[in-house]
Structure 1
Amino acid sequence: MREVVARTARPGRWLWAGSAGQALLLASWVPRLGGEDHGLAVVFVCLSGLLIVMAVVLAVTDLRATLVLTDDALLLERRWRPLRVPREAVLAVDGNIHGRPSWSESVVVTVAGRDRPVRLGGFEVHARVLIPRLQEWAGVGDTAPASEDSASPT
């Protein structure tokens, strides 16, 4: 089984609009390079050029991530730093606001052997839909079971 559960949103058209706005700002500062405020103009031209390049790179490159469930693992497929979490290593699935999936913006997966939980967010599917789906897939709840080491004898 290989089920695509969610994808991150595409970059919005605001990146292109921001690039156009920065290009207009750049064009307004270029004539001032030879004037009295030469230093300030150089700073603004450099910053505008840098922002234009960054916005175009973000708009052109595909930095989207896909959350995939297989029979034995949760996969976060992305260009850089893909993530694979084995099914048996998932201890709990909750939202970033504990006990309130409808209020949560991201999914928090507690994984055995990791110091910090894995936080998954920015998907087109809301966390209130993803949390129960991932809990069902992993067979866990929203809190990790107490380990035998931390259990106090009674």
Structure 2
Amino acid sequence: MRREIWNAGRSHSTRTILSHAWRQTADSIRDLPYSVLWTFRRKDDQPMKQEGTIKKHRIYTTSFASVYPHYVTKAEKKGRTKSEVDSIICWLTGYDSEHLETQLEKQADFETFFAEAPRLNPSRDLIKGVVCGVRVEDIEEPTMREIRYLDKLVDELARGKAMEKILRKQ
């Protein structure tokens, strides 16, 4: 019985499998002890911890150069320019246009891109709002926060916000 539940767990939730499997032995799923309901895990459930370290989000290993054209396309669809996207990136990271091109050519991942940034703008802490349902100011992981800051700035650009407001100029 255990093997059937384990293999069937690939396509259905554990709770559904157990409710069907134990239906013959229990009058109701409520008659089963809680520990029995949650004993089995689906085969594809993997723990986030691997060898003592927390598994990193895949955006860290994604090449910045592979995402950059999407930033530009998003801005251009709304009537903004590539140079405005570049100025936002340079404002946030401290790169000049020459070093930004170098980072794009060497296919640096996001983690390296932000780690090698010459000088992160101190005014970036003024960036507030929600990206992907998460408030950027509440993100604890520093690199993820920087990535979300960049996403937020590009979103503001695409929405038609003035560059002075996007760059948090007083």
Tell me which interval the TM-score lies in, with the shorter structure as reference length: under 0.3
TM-score by length of structure 2 reads 0.26
Higher strand share: 1
